[in-house]
Amino acid sequence: MSDSITSQADLAGLYTVSGIFGLIWYILVVVALWKVFAKAGWPGILAIIPIVNMFILVKIAGWSAWLGLLFFIPIANIVLHIMVAFRVGKAFGKGGVFSFFLLFLIQWIGYFIIGFGKAQYTKPV
């Protein structure tokens, strides 16, 4: 428990720094997803809304948006996230290794590559 004013100030400074980094990360993800959504034929502005962008990614993967509700179930969300990453990668002509590492593990880099690269979207069947 922090009982001195200096330790409380240290915690407030930590929250501010992490908040700034969190905001920068969120802006990068929104920019990347905006371009991906636009390439897939969806309005890019939907990338700004946090929960909606998950459902749009499920739609880009070729599934019903109702399947996006699985993102709220603890273990199922990881499995669904991997499946969506592979389907989105396939829809943009990328392989399994790209999909796993750059669309699942390091998402914002993978979506930047897809969004700003030459990849073309073909709706998965």
124 lies in some domain: no
Neighbour count for residue 83 (Cβ, 10 Å): 17
Tell me the per-residue pLDDT of 6-31, one tens digit each, with 9 for 90 and over: 666 666 766 787 888 988 999 999 99
123 lies in some domain: no
122 lies in some domain: no
| pLDDT of 5 strictly over 80 | no
pLDDT of residue 95: 94
87 lies in some domain: yes
40 lies in some domain: yes
Task: Summarize the confidence of residues 66-74 as an average pLDDT.
Answer: 95
List of residues 6+ apart from 122 with CB closer than 8 A:
91, 92, 93
Taking each helix axis from N to C end, the angle separating 50-60 and 5-39, rounded to the nearest 10 degrees, works out to: 30
What pTM was computed for the model?
A: 0.84
**Domain span including residue 71:** 5-116
Question: Mean pLDDT of all residues in the chain?
Answer: 90
pLDDT of residue 101: 95
56 lies in some domain: yes
12 lies in some domain: yes
121 lies in some domain: no
pLDDT band at 108 (very low <50, low <70, confident <90, very high): confident
pLDDT band at 43 (very low <50, low <70, confident <90, very high): very high
**Percent of the chain at pLDDT exceeding 70:** 89
Split into its structural domains, the chain has a count of 1
